A = this chain, B = another copy of it.
């Protein structure tokens, strides 16, 4: 945070400030939402002046675009690639997706909250980007493979193949986005990604196993 310094060019031990600034922007976006975040707030978060953000990015909009280009798109691409590398089998596909999501979330804790806020919600700042850039093809590839697997009897036929990926997102992104809330409500500091992962896998593999049915 506050790293107040005097004016003038910094010494050669300069950390990568651009990176720090983008981190600060992500923190603010996550905490307040993209729409409600001013460059003043980002500057405060980074312990720097608004003028510097101008120097680096030009304007508020360009800064937002930089955050998208530098952080968000690569993240999605990483997930896409891991999934792409999975073989023919649906189980492998789903497993790869869940693993990729868990890895992405663990490495980028800001991601889930930002996602639910700015992609899921009407008026979200990342909606267009994601939907047009990656969403459609990504989602539809899954839908087709799910449907094919159902026909081969390798996947619960009562599921709607179009909704399954949505369910998987709901079981990964949603719990991760609320992690702080759950931990507080449950007084459970030990409740980490590992427990979450195990629980979700159990639910997906076997369902609730109710004796009487819903």
Residues on A lying within 8 angstroms of B by beta carbon are: 30-33, 35-36, 89-92, 94-95, 98, 113, 116-117, 119-123, 127, 131, 135-136, 139-140, 143, 153-156, 158-160, 162-164, 166-167, 169-171, 173-175, 177-178, 180-182, 184-186, 188, 191, 195-196, 198-214
A97 → B minimal CB distance (Å):
10
**Is A204's CB under 8 angstroms from B208's CB?**
yes
Chain B residue at minimum C-beta to C-beta distance from A202:
B158
Q: Which residues of B have CB within 8 Å of A170?
A: 170-171, 174-175
Given A166-B175, A203-B207, 15 other A-B residues pairs in contact with their CB atoms under 8 A: A116-B120, A116-B177, A121-B177, A127-B181, A135-B181, A135-B185, A136-B185, A140-B185, A154-B212, A155-B208, A156-B202, A156-B207, A158-B202, A162-B186, A167-B200
Main secondary structure of the interface of A (DSSP, over half): helix
A151 → B minimal CB distance (Å):
13
**Is A162's CB under 8 angstroms from B191's CB?**
yes
A59 → B minimal CB distance (Å):
19
A39 → B minimal CB distance (Å):
15
Q: Which residues of B have CB within 8 Å of A210?
A: 90-91, 94, 154-155, 205
